[in-house]
Structure 1
Amino acid sequence: MKHSLLICLTILMASSCISNKRITYLQNLPGNPEINLDEFIPYAEVQYKYILQPFDIVDIDFASASPELTEVFEFQGSRNIRGGMMGGAGNGDLFFFTGYSLDESGNVELPKLGKIKISGMTEEEAKNSIQHAINAYFKEEVYVKLRMAGIRYTTLGEFGSSSTKVILRNRATIFDALAASGESNILAKRNRLFIIRQYDGGTKIHQINLNDRSLLASPFFFIQNNDILYLEPMKIRQFGNADNLASSLQLFGTFLASGLLLFGLLRGNF
């Protein structure tokens, strides 16, 4: 009986352990080309260029030698709102109030110029399209600057925090998203991170492996605007989360030891 209980305890403890191979980022996994330290890794052949979509928010700014020309394109109070909110550099809602939102048809509406369709374009193509419309309206030169109003993405599952976040940069990697969202806890399946990505007219689900070093050359190394990231939990999740797993096992061991002691005492009396 004692041997049976000892074997069961050994099996339980072994099944409760998590191998480092399951939680270590960027390993050289079998079956993939080995990537050595200090080795140059080119980006994926699919070049990272985000295509604007309906309901995106873009930041458009104008400059001219004549200030009265640029004032034509400023919504009342938007410059004051922008100046008042810049103190909170991490606040992604800044561009929600001061940026330009694409409608369901992919048009952006600008004062004097009306609606201009820019969905399906890169940032550079959209900028050139608006610049062309302004050049046709004004004889005096007005310079246009257009950029995405940050990269908005959503995290679900075994992240440090599940929410929608904004990275105020033109480009961000999957590890930037992990760092901004709180590193995935120890019970996350790092080999099964799902990216739900928006495309023109639809959505695709992609799966990546954070343990795999070849991720650095993957087309999904960079996140895109409106990505949804989902991390599955391991099966061991049923015993507790990463914070209380050790306590749960310790408590279980205490009860088991007490049970074995009680069993020994009772057996000795009979």
Structure 2
Amino acid sequence: MSRLILFSFVLLFGVSCISNKRITYLQNLPENEPIGLDEFIPFAEYEKNYILQPFDVVDIDFASANEELTKAFEFQGSRNMRMGGAGMMGAGDMFFLTGYALDSEGNVDLPRLGKIKIGGLNEEQAKLKVQEAINEYFKDEVYVRLRIGGIRFTALGEFSSSGTKTILKHRATIFDAISMAGESNILAKKNKLFLIRQYDGGSKIHQINLNDRALLASPYYFIQNNDILYLEPMKIRQFGNAENFSASLGLIISVTTSLLLLFALVTGNL
């Protein structure tokens, strides 16, 4: 009987134990050169200026000493909505309501100026192109401000709060995104975070290892607008989620122990 109890405890330990190596962020993995504490880690080459794509939403605002000029170039009430409605709905939503959406060909349709192609340009290049268009329309100086309404990304899989999120920054790391989506639970494969990134004319899937300290020098350390993050669950997930996992294991061990005890009684080993 003592052997049966010992076997049950060994089974419980073996099934329920998840190694810290699978759940700890930013480790020095054996296959990589170790990165010590306080060691300087230069950023990898990455696209610092997001390239505008079809269906993106940009906020375009105008300023001039002549207030009547600026009113001619914005939709009625959009400025008041930005000032008064941001507190009620959140700044990220206001960009969608008051901003300008690029069409399928990358054009933005502005009052009086008509369609201007800014797809394929970064923010500064797009701003200059709109500035050139308005300078041809008016001799008076009109200042143009163009920006993306934060970094929008989608989190799916083993996050505590999945869905589409908006980080109101011009630059954000993968850990900013994870923090906003809710840190992944213990049953997530932190070595298999899939990043689906939009490129000109298509998408690519990249795999990220959150356990790896070398991630800090990866070109995917910084997220971009329209990124999709999918965090895969461990195979052990089939036994239950993080909240009921212990209860599921307890049930499995109880059933196993009962079957072993019954077998021992039948075979006369007790």
TM-score above 0.5? yes
Aligned position for 1:39: 39
Aligned position for 1:230: 230
What 5-or-longer segments of structure 1 have no aligned partner? none
8 Å Cα contact 2:4/2:260 also seen in 1: no
8 Å Cα contact 2:153/2:164 also seen in 1: yes
User: Structure 2 matches for 1:27-176, cutoff 5 A?
Assistant: 27-88=27-88, 90-176=90-176
Q: Deviations over 1:189-220 (max 9, x none)?
A: 00000011111101111101001111111110
Question: How many residues are matched?
Answer: 270
* Structure 1 pair 193–63 and aligned structure 2 pair: CA distance change class (3 A): same
8 Å Cα contact 2:51/2:123 also seen in 1: yes
Q: Alignment partner of 2:241: what SS?
A: coil
**Superposition CA RMSD, Å:** 2.4
Q: Do residues 221 (structure 1) and 221 (structure 2) align? A: yes
8 Å Cα contact 1:154/1:163 also seen in 2: yes
8 Å Cα contact 1:41/1:217 also seen in 2: yes
Identical positions, percent: 68
Distance in structure 1 (CA, Å) of the matches to 2:136 and 2:242: 61
Aligned position for 1:249: 249
Q: Deviations over 1:143-202 (max 9, x none)?
A: 111111111111111111221111121111111111111111110000000011111101
Distance in structure 2 (CA, Å) of the matches to 1:91 and 1:262: 64
What 5-or-longer segments of structure 2 have no aligned partner? none
* Structure 1 pair 248–91 and aligned structure 2 pair: CA distance change class (3 A): farther
8 Å Cα contact 2:12/2:253 also seen in 1: no
Q: TM-score, normalised by structure 1?
A: 0.91
- Once the 2 structures are TM-superposed, how far is the Cα of residue 69 of structure 1 from its aligned partner? 0.9
Aligned position for 1:181: 181
**What residue identity is the alignment partner of 1:175?**
F
8 Å Cα contact 1:16/1:236 also seen in 2: no
Distance in structure 2 (CA, Å) of the matches to 1:91 and 1:267: 71
- Once the 2 structures are TM-superposed, how far is the Cα of residue 265 of structure 1 from its aligned partner? 7.6
Q: Do residues 205 (structure 1) and 211 (structure 2) align? A: no
